[in-house]
C-alpha cells in the first residue's frame, strides 16, 4: 500500500476524501492525518478530523494539530460554505480519541526522515501552511517526498474565493509558492477538475442507499454543502473537491492533465493566490506540476460509492 499523510482542514469534502482513503487499506496506508487552519479555525479542523476517523471506526489513526494561521497573513475561513462547525449537515458525536501531542509539522518532518526515501506521498487538502512550514524548517525532506498530490488552484475555471483565486491557495499564497517551488513531483487537482465532480441527486441517493452510518453521513454532508453551490453558482450539486486527491491514488486513469509550469501569485492587487498555469506552454518556464484538467466523473462516483460501502 502507498504510504500517505493527509494534511487537511475538514470540511465536508475533506471528510469524504479521508473516508475514501480509510476505506482503501490495500492501496493506501494513512500514516497520519495533520490538521491545518482553513475552512474553519484549527481547533475545529483538529476535532473534525477525529470525528471522521471515529465515523470510519478507525480510532487507531494518528491525528496531529498543525499551524493555526498562514505563514504571513491573517487566516481567512469559509464558514459560508461549510457552516459554523466546518462539518455542518450530519449529527456526529464529539470525538473521544485523543489528538497526538506532537505538532503536525514535526510529525511530517520526522516521518519523511524515518521512512525510506521516496516512499511517502503528501496529500494536502487545505491551505499549504503545514507542508510549507515543514519544507522551510527541514529542506532535507524535499527529495525524500515521493509525490505531493494536492487540491488547489484553478485555471480555466478561475476562482471561488476571489475572481481569480481558489480558496486553499488564496488563504496561504506564500506557503503555496514554497510548495510549488520545492522541486517535488506535484499533482494538482484544481477547480477545473473538482467542479466536474458534482454530487447530483442520484449520486447523493446512492450514498444514502448504502444504508450505513457512513453512507448516511456523507449524504447529509453533501446535502449541506450542495445548498451553497446551488444557490451561489446554480451548479448541479456539491463539488467534491478534496476526494479527487484520494481517488487519484486509487484510479489515476480517471484524470487527465498536462505537465506544465504553475506559478503562484503572491503580490497582485486583484490576483493574489492565483495559480498562473502555463497550460499552452508559452512561458518557457520549466514544468513543475501535473495540472489536471478533466475527470471521468461517473467513474469517480462509482469507485467512491463502492469504497464508502466498505466502511
Ligand atoms: C477547497 O476549499 C475548501 O473549501 C474545500 O475543502 C476545498 O479543499 C476548494 O476550493
Ligand atoms: Ca479542504
Q: How crowded is residue 274: how many other Cβ atoms within 10 Å of its Cβ?
A: 25
Q: Is residue 7 classed as helix, strand or coil in its secondary structure?
A: strand
Active site residue 267: no
Q: What atom of ligand 1 comes closest to residue 125's alpha carbon?
A: 8
Yes or no: say if 174 and 196 are a contact pair by the CB < 8 Å rule: no
Cα–ligand 2 centroid distance for 109 (angstroms): 21
Q: Which three cell numbers stand for residue 116?
A: 525510506
Query: Atom of ligand 1 at shortest distance to CA of 10?
Result: 6
Question: ipTM exceeding 0.90?
Answer: yes
Looking at per-residue confidence, does 223 or 277 come out higher?
Answer: 277
pLDDT digits (tens, 9 = 90+) for 79-118: 998 999 999 999 999 999 999 999 999 999 999 999 999 9
Could you identify the atom of ligand 1 that is nearest to the CA of residue 161?
10
Q: Whose CA is nearest to atom 4 of ligand 1?
A: 39
| pTM flag (> 0.90) | yes
- Ligand 1 center–CA 284 separation, angstroms: 30
Centre of ligand 1 from the C-alpha of residue 168, in Å? 6
Cα gap 217→219, rounded to integer Å: 5
Q: Please indicate whether residue 125, judged by its CB atom, sits closer than 6 Å to ligand 1.
A: yes
Amino acid at each position: 500500500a502507498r504510504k500517505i499523510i493527509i494534511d487537511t482542514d475538514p470540511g465536508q469534502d475533506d471528510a469524504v476524501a479521508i473516508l475514501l482513503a480509510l476505506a482503501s487499506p490495500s492501496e493506501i496506508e494513512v500514516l497520519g492525518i495533520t490538521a491545518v487552519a482553513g475552512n474553519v479555525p484549527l481547533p475545529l479542523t483538529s476535532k473534525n478530523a477525529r470525528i471522521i476517523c471515529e465515523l470510519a471506526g478507525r480510532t487507531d489513526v494518528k491525528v496531529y494539530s498543525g499551524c493555526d494561521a498562514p505563514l504571513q497573513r491573517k487566516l481567512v475561513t469559509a464558514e459560508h460554505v461549510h457552516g459554523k462547525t466546518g462539518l455542518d449537515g450530519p449529527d456526529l458525536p464529539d470525538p473521544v480519541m485523543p489528538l497526538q501531542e506532537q505538532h503536525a509539522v514535526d510529525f511530517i518532518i520526522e516521518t519523511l526522515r524515518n521512512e525510506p526515501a521516496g516512499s511517502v506521498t503528501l496529500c494536502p487538502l487545505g491551505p499549504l501552511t503545514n507542508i510549507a512550514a515543514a519544507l522551510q524548517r527541514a529542506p532535507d525532506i524535499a527529495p525524500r517526498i515521493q509525490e505531493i498530490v494536492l487540491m488547489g488552484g484553478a485555471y480555466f475555471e478561475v476562482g471561488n474565493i476571489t475572481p481569480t483565486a481558489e480558496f486553499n491557495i488564496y488563504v496561504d499564497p506564500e506557503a503555496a509558492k514554497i510548495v510549488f517551488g520545492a522541486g517535488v513531483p506535484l499533482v494538482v487537482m484544481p477547480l477545473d477538475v473538482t467542479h466536474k465532480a458534482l454530487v447530483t441527486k442520484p449520486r447523493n441517493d446512492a450514498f444514502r442507499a448504502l444504508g450505513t452510518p457512513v453512507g448516511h453521513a456523507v449524504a447529509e454532508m453533501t446535502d449541506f454543502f450542495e445548498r451553497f453551490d446551488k444557490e451561489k453558482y446554480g451548479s448541479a450539486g456539491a463539488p467534491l473537491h478534496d476526494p479527487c486527491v484520494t481517488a487519484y491514488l486509487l484510479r489515476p486513469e480517471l484524470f487527465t492533465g498536462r505537465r506544465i509550469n504553475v506559478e503562484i501569485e503572491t503580490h497582485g492587487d486583484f490576483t493574489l493566490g492565483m495559480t498562473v498555469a502555463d497550460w499552452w506552454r508559452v512561458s518557457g518556464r520549466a514544468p513543475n506540476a501535473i495540472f489536471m484538467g478533466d475527470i471521468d466523473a461517473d467513474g469517480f462516483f462509482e469507485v467512491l460509492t463502492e469504497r464508502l460501502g466498505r466502511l
